[in-house]
Structures are given as C-alpha cells and as structure tokens.
Amino acid sequence: MSYYIAPPCLKEIEELYRDEDLLIVNKPDGLFTVPGRGPENRDSVLVRLKDKYPTMTLVHRLDLDTSGILILALSKEATSHINRQFQLRAVNKYYTAVLFGVVKEDEFTISLPIGPDWNDRPRNKIDYEAGKEAVTKVTVLDRDVAGNQTRVVFKPVTGRSHQLRLHSKSIGHPILGCDLYAHEEAFKQANRLMLHATGIGFVHPTKGKWVSWETDVPF
C-alpha cells in the first residue's frame, strides 16, 4: 500500500529550556513529532532526541508542516501532571498563521465540531452529527489588502487534529501553504504551511509556578 514520504528535514531542533522535568523545544517545519508511516518517515523529534533524553515522553504533538513550541516531559511525574493540565484545558497555547483573504472581524471564535473524513483520509471534516467539540479563538494582527492576506493569532480551546487548518477553511480563509485544506491559489501563495506554535504556558509540574515560553515567527 502506498503512503506519503516526507522530504528530508535538514533543519535542527532548537532546545529552548531544560530541567529535570521538562524539555521545551522549537520544532522546525517539515519534521514529524513522532515517526510517520513507513521506514522513510522515521526522522522525527522523538527519534532525534530519544538517545540524548531516554526518559523523554511526548505530551502533545505538532503536525509535520507546523513549526514551533513542543513540551517534552522528562519524568513520570511531569508527564502525568502536564497531561492532566491538557485534559483540563489549563495549558495556554497560541499560534501565528497567515490566512488567505482579508478577514473582516478583529476578534471572533470558531466553534465547529470536527470528526474524521473516512472517505478522504487523512483529512478531517466539520461533522455536526458525530464530531467532537472544537473551539478556536481568533485575533487579527495585520491585514495585507494588496496581498489578499491576513495575519492572525489562534488560541485553540480544544486540541482536535487539524483543528486550526480546518476551522480556517470553514470560514473561507484557509492557511496559506496548506496541502490538505487550502484551495490551489492559497496553497501556492507560500512555500510552507504558514502556521507556527508561537507560545505556550502552564504550571510547572514540580515547582508549582506558572512558566511560559515564546518563539520568533519564522515567516
């Protein structure tokens, strides 16, 4: 059976912070978080860092083409604590994206349920009958009327697969460079998916204090 083979990722993982419990990294676009399907897609954050950090556990993921901040737990206590924060929606994370078209509203919320599109995997779809709750808060940063683009910040309340890509498409403003949900014009306007996990904040699992990190947007 055929499957997608990702081009080699020559970019490095940037380590932003490390202590006994946590490793915070900046993942480059084009690198899997965990190995993809098939031996050709083994290169990933997990494979690259596992020998250096044998106790490392992933507590969340980013899509192959999404760059930005990832939390990696280095102890069982940290894994449990951070997983719980994700379950309680207590982790504050936000993304920067560039969308096709000029978005009119300055701030708004997209609340549309998401489920798998079994007839067109790996895509998902808006599914009002069987989909799971998906909520995204959107704030416009800048409008490029001449370029027909809008730069936004996404604050996902939920964490469904492809949520930001699909919610963007659903309002008629797909993310530039998105190979799964953008129409041809929007896809060709960028040489990568214009989506970056810019910042994250949560309660440190052992220190008990709020910690946060932010990265520069590479586009």
Catalytic residues: 63
What is each CA distance from 216 to 79, 165, 199, in whole angstroms? Answer: 26, 21, 9
Take residue 27 and report the two structure tokens written for it.
Answer: 């993942």
* Amino acid letter, 100: F
The number of CA neighbours under 13 Å toward the Cβ of 132 is 11
Residue 34's alpha-carbon distances to 37, 178, 195, 212, in angstroms, are 10, 20, 19, 24
CB atoms near residue 1 (< 10 Å): 4
